[in-house]
Amino acid sequence: MSIDAGPRKVDAEYAIEYLQEHPEAGLCCEDRRSWITPNANETDRQVLLLDTAEAERLKDDARLRLVSGIAHAGRSLWVVRRMT
């Protein structure tokens, strides 16, 4: 039986790879906490964690866009841009 150790801390490069491979995922930021959620519609779930500097690097990536008007006040959500 395997024990789930919970979300692990990653850098921005790994996080963008994860986001590109999982288009339903998103980057969530709230206060000084940042995490990758496996489903942008359920931002409370955490699969990966980022420290503040790595999250800022990730938010600056042109492949991501900010989602406006999410349900959680004080929380921001970033997802991979759809390239058409």
Q: What are the sequence ranges of the domains in the chain? A: 8-80
How much is the pLDDT for 83? Answer: 65
Instruction: Give me the percent of the chain exceeding a pLDDT of 70.
Output: 92
Band of residue 73 on the pLDDT scale cut at 50, 70, 90: confident
For residue range 9-38, list pLDDT tens digits in order: 999 999 999 999 999 999 999 999 999 999
How much is the pLDDT for 51? Answer: 96
Residue carrying structure tokens 């866009």: 65
